[in-house]
Amino acid sequence: MKKPFLILVDSSATNTIELAQMEDVKILPLSIIRSDDKVFEDDNKSINANDIFEMLDQKYHFSTSCTPIGVLHQEVEQGLQEYEKVVILTISGGYSSQFNNALSLKKEFGEEKVIVADTKSFGYALELLIKHLKEMFKKQPTNQEIEKYIDNFHDFTIAVFACENTAGLVASGRLPKIVSAMLKLTKITPIIKSEYKNKSGGVARNMKTAPEKMLSIIAHTWHNNLNPDEIESIAVLHAGLSEEQTEPLRQLAIRTFNLRPEQVVVRHSPSVFLVYVYKNAIGYQIVTKKSKV
């Protein structure tokens, strides 16, 4: 007898090593391409955060790509041999064509077997979405109910981040060169707000003041009307920082929103983002119980 649901989530999620240990969850490695055309699977084996930082120091730059369609096809095909249905969670369609590739497999294998909706997100939001879905599965939801839940989850989350070095964002086309040059001249720090795609969230005087600015942007998104019970969790996102460096960021979020300590966690940035934001980047990602729209 087949098991009911398999979740395939790509490596844009945080905490993929632990997620891969969960029952009925598998990780789809995205691709990381170095500037000499060497391709790595983002599987924490072919390449990891320390490897990326070393290569960046060696002046390599990177681009990213989808899970190879053949690999994605194979994972779905194998999954359906053991499970009644496969749920595919991908990085936001605003960042990648991974979602479109998943849709093509839904058409091939049939919408009664493959469940796909655009998460419009990444990172910690996907980590929590998996836990929500596993609880939802206990109630035997319909495919339409699952897809609607995934589609609406974005309304309860945003991410903001700031980088010391914008070279990766410029090289990837995610930040225009002229904007980067102006920021260097004025010595201010851009805050990037991630909602489906990256967009400007404002500026901070420097990286030291960026955390307060980022939390202010989050609060403003919910019209400065979020109480602690309406916040499920906040993740401090970082690129290569120590616990000594991340703990003040965590405490700031706790104080700002009057949260219980367990409501704020720390997560290392997924590797597919490290290649753009570089070492020492910081950010926050929130998941709430209250819609922002």
Residue type at 87 in one-letter notation? V
User: Are 43 and 140 members of one domain?
Assistant: yes
Q: Is residue 186 part of a domain?
A: yes
Q: Which of 154, 170, 189 is the last residue of a domain?
A: 154
Q: Is residue 256 part of a domain?
A: yes
- Confidence (pLDDT) at 25: 98
User: Are 52 and 144 members of one domain?
Assistant: yes
- Confidence (pLDDT) at 177: 60
Residue 49 φ/ψ, nearest 5 degrees: -60, -45
How deeply is 180 buried, as exposed, middle or buried, from its count of CB atoms within 10 A (0-12, 13-18, 19+)?
A: middle
Q: Which of 154, 184, 204 is the last residue of a domain?
A: 154
User: Are 15 and 82 members of one domain?
Assistant: yes
- Confidence (pLDDT) at 133: 98
Q: Could you list the residue range(s) of the whole structural domain that residue 235 is in?
A: 156-288
- Confidence (pLDDT) at 16: 94
Residue 247: CATH number of its domain: 3.30.1180.10
Distance CA 283, CA 235 (A): 8
Cα of first residue to Cα of last residue in the chain, in angstroms, is: 42
Residue 14: CATH number of its domain: 3.40.50.10170
Please write the tens of the pLDDT for every residue from 64-88: 999 999 999 999 999 999 999 999 9
Q: How are strands ordered across the β-sheet holding 197-204? A: 197-204, 189-195, 157-162, 282-288, 231-238, 264-268
Whether 189 contacts 210, CB under 8 Å: yes
User: Are 24 and 94 members of one domain?
Assistant: yes
User: Are 45 and 85 members of one domain?
Assistant: yes
Nearest Cα residue to 268 out of 18, 14, 40, 80? 14
Q: Is residue 293 part of a domain?
A: no
Q: Is residue 170 part of a domain?
A: yes
- Confidence (pLDDT) at 175: 60
- Confidence (pLDDT) at 179: 58
Based on the structure, what is the number of domains in the chain? 2
Q: Which of 154, 171, 189 is the last residue of a domain?
A: 154
User: Are 131 and 222 members of one domain?
Assistant: no
User: Are 92 and 187 members of one domain?
Assistant: no
Q: Is residue 185 part of a domain?
A: yes
Please write the tens of the pLDDT for every residue from 184-241: 656 788 898 988 777 778 889 999 999 999 999 999 999 999 999 999 999 999 999 9
Distance CA 284, CA 256 (A): 13
Q: Is residue 106 part of a domain?
A: yes
CA distances to 177, 216, 276 from 209, in Å: 24, 11, 21
User: Are 172 and 108 members of one domain?
Assistant: no
User: Are 9 and 132 members of one domain?
Assistant: yes
Ranges in the chain, pLDDT < 50: none
Task: Output the DSSP codes for 224-237.
Answer: T---GGGEEEEEEE
Q: Is residue 102 part of a domain?
A: yes
User: Are 8 and 144 members of one domain?
Assistant: yes
Q: Is residue 202 part of a domain?
A: yes
> Other C-beta atoms within 10 Å of 216: how many?
17
How deeply is 63 buried, as exposed, middle or buried, from its count of CB atoms within 10 A (0-12, 13-18, 19+)?
A: middle
Distance CA 87, CA 113 (A): 9
User: Are 263 and 201 members of one domain?
Assistant: yes
Residues in Cβ contact with 264 at an 8 Å cutoff, skipping those fewer than 6 apart? 233, 234, 235, 236, 250, 253, 254
Q: Tokens 């939390």 appear where?
A: 215
User: Are 62 and 123 members of one domain?
Assistant: yes
CA 265 vs. chain centroid, Å, equals: 15
Nearest Cα residue to 86 out of 69, 109, 67, 59? 109
- Confidence (pLDDT) at 121: 95
Distance CA 285, CA 118 (A): 18
Whether 96 contacts 244, CB under 8 Å: no
- Three-class secondary structure of residue 137 per DSSP: helix
